[in-house]
Amino acid sequence: MAKNKFVLNHGGVGELLKSAAMQSIVEEHASEIRKSAGDGYAQDTYVGKSRVNASVYADSYKARKDNLKNNTLLKAVQ
């Protein structure tokens, strides 16, 4: 069997994780989670130090109460 060595290009991976293409993928996943959670939830996407980040959060009082009682966001991720 041949022994192949794989060398990771850390700079290239960093660029990929911060790219606009990755941002659109992350936004798409966050949007699906927000839609499945229901009304009162919002999403935010930003480029951090090492990668693109997205968050979905309860934006209204009713949604915060619902999330605390039913773990709505946790269930929407699964």
The answer to whether residue 3 is domain-embedded is: no
The answer to whether residue 69 is domain-embedded is: yes
Report how many domains make up the chain: 1
Are 66 and 72 within 8 A, CB to CB? yes
The answer to whether residue 57 is domain-embedded is: yes
User: With a threshold of 0.85, does the pTM exceed it?
Assistant: no
- Residue 71: CB atoms within 10 Å: 12
The answer to whether residue 30 is domain-embedded is: yes
3-state secondary structure of 54: strand
Dihedrals φ, ψ of 54, to 5°? -135, 145
Residue ranges making up the domain that contains 66: 8-75
**How buried is residue 47: exposed, middle or buried, by Cβ count under 10 Å (0-12/13-18/19+)?**
middle
The answer to whether residue 20 is domain-embedded is: yes
The string of pLDDT tens digits covering residues 6-58 is 899 999 999 999 999 999 999 999 999 999 999 999 999 999 999 999 999 99
Residue 78 — very low, low, confident or very high, per pLDDT cuts 50/70/90?
confident
The answer to whether residue 1 is domain-embedded is: no
